[in-house]
Structure 1
């Protein structure tokens, strides 16, 4: 009999769900501060996906919603969900998440690896999960950059970001209980000749409204200083004996030549130009490693190694060696000798897909 009793936490969750009427509540319109934040998220999603797909993209931000966190998984119809969780350094480490269906995650990963988003696998693997995490990092980074401009240049950086596939019983923000309320900023993204996808940006209710108050304070116009009132006892200016001078005549408006602006046609760039603020990180040292080859051995075989032992590598003689930066494959080349020292002549820069694939190495 005692097993049928509800715990206090379950009772609180039920009461809070009943207070909300079991349905999402609006948290502001498109012109509200939360609506402005949702528009930034929508713009960042469209820009990144449009750049990756190389096609026209249209984004429609939905009105902000306030709902119980435990109700969010049910809005995906029981399908597996890709949850990209992070905390925002600069907003008191507020936990945040981006939620999307597994299919949308596969589409984003395929675009990241140079595909067209039309032939997707049936389910995600480590490669696709890593690629989709990289794409979501770009979306979140672009959104926080726009939000930083809205807050007067405040430093906002995503930290401890990780993407996981969720199914069954799960919560978007693990630091909050199932009965606590969150704010959801959803956006529908339509990619020409590919299809429509949806993403949802989620944060705790308290953090969301604190951020909205901060945005409101930044967007409020500065107060206008009151003009001093003219004293009634101030002496009037005596008039001259002659007629009052005529007010200066306003110059007649001159006709303005208005015509459509003529622009030179834009040519398609062959490669993406790095942003100007890349100079900020050019002095950061990285470790460059040249890998001749690899092999797998048992622990017993490794313990049996000694002077004169020969290890046969998987790579064939004459094949290019791999050049890794901080453990990530970036290029290939051939070994050369420079003044009695070994060197590598770069012969190939690996594609974006191979760089994504090297994450799991």
Structure 2
């Protein structure tokens, strides 16, 4: 009670027959409501959808890079966008994790952080060093270096993919990496304790890994990416014009009103039709590879390779070669000569629908 007057909360409590909330309880309630209100307006649902679409495409490229490094099929899908309190988010980790942090230096502003948990770091490091992906115990310095290289490649591929989507140059600073040991309450707050936008992705590496990796950025960076994608899909909307006091006195200008409604209309539209989603990615270049054969050899044998060495592959002479797009098998065929170059004659191919689902 304050100055002999009952607050609305106290009146409600008396009508319900419950206890009157204390000053501390009312204060905590106000803070909670204020935080909830702030979280709700950081990103609209349309912007979250747009951010998820951009993340889906850019992380698809990152998955291809990781697949080439570890020699296994990697799938990164199902983005989920959430707004979190930074301190609560990072303090929620129960096991150590690795972070790769970059700054956007051109094309976008702000910071981008990629997070992978300790077990997945060990699996990736094992595969990169020629192992079978098994891991136990703490991450060694050598394993940490190997996993850092993989994550560097992933975040660089993601930035390159964003450049392709938005048709603009996007550069990042040299990545900075670190292992955070949450078991000893080591803290990590790269954004200064503010609200952050977290994009969760499901990552699968064959039967070895099925987990979430996380991309964290500031709300202004997330909003920037979302608005750039919206502009690409629906055309570049004009920015909302700020109305000055002088304009209000004389009556608001017609073009200002029209610009406001155009922006509002754009924000309400983002449920992406399937055809428009496909149209969005048609210009993105994909890597096409032809695989003559494969084999696995121990490191000591590889180190002994020299001119004249012969490597046996797992493919017969008359067997079709594989045609891969972004690391995914889409066709099989035979080697032919086209002028002065080698080529591939396609003999077997998946249906368009099946091919698209695998890319």
TM-score, structure 2 normalization: 0.52
Distance 1:203 1:155 in 2: 16
1:64 aligns to 2:81 (yes or no):
yes
Correspondence for 1:162: 177
**RMSD, matched Cα:** 3.9
TM-score of the superposed pair, with normalisation by structure 1: 0.52
Task: Tell whether the 8 Å contact from 2:159 to 2:171 is kept in structure 1 after alignment.
Answer: yes
CA gap of 1:195–1:17, structure 2 versus 1, over 3 A, is farther
**What is the aligned partner in structure 2 of residue 40 from structure 1?**
57
| Other structure's SS at 2:168 match | coil
What SS does structure 2 have at the residue aligned with 1:213? helix
Could you list the runs of 5+ residues in structure 1 that have no partner in the other structure?
Answer: 1-10, 224-264, 272-330, 334-344, 349-361
Comparing both structures, which one devotes a greater share of its residues to helix? Answer: 2
* Counterpart Cα distance in 2 of 1:177 and 1:88: 17
For 1:124, the equivalent position in structure 2 comes to 139
Partner SS, residue 115 of structure 1: coil
Q: Post-superposition, which runs of at least 4 consecutive aligned residues in structure 1 deviate over 6 A?
A: 21-26, 345-348
Q: Which residue of 2 aligns with 1:267?
A: 291
Q: Determine if the alignment matches structure 1 residue 111 to structure 2 residue 127.
A: yes
For residues 291-336 of structure 1, the C-alpha deviation after alignment (integer angstroms, 9 at most, x for no partner) is: xxxxxxxxxxxxxxxxxxxxxxxxxxxxxxxxxxxxxxxx999xxx
CA deviations 1:147-201 (Å, max 9, x no partner) are 011121323234242233342142342xx222x1111111111222313132101
- The corresponding residue for 1:194 is 208
Alignment pair present for 1:151 and 2:135: no
* Ranges in structure 2 where 5+ consecutive residues have no aligned partner: 1-26, 238-288, 296-302, 310-359
* Cα deviation digits, residues 204-235 of structure 1 (max 9, x gap): 11121122222322333479xxxxxxxxxxxx
Distance in 1 (alpha carbons) for counterparts of 2:130 and 2:46: 37
| Structure 1 counterpart SS, 2:76 | strand
- With over 3 angstroms needed to count, the CA separation of the structure-2 counterparts of 1:169 and 1:162, relative to structure 1, is closer
Query: What is aligned with 1:79?
Result: 95
What is the alpha-carbon distance in structure 1 between the residues aligned to residue 108 and residue 54 of structure 2?
A: 17
Identify the match of residue 134 of structure 1 among 132, 135, 149.
149
Q: Which has the larger radius of gyration?
A: 1
2:199 matched to which residue of 1?
A: 185
What's the counterpart of residue 246 of structure 1? Answer: none
Question: Structure 2 CA distance, aligned partners of 1:22 and 1:113?
Answer: 46
The correspondence for 2:233, drawn from 191, 197, 219, is: 219
Give SS of 1:64's match. Answer: strand
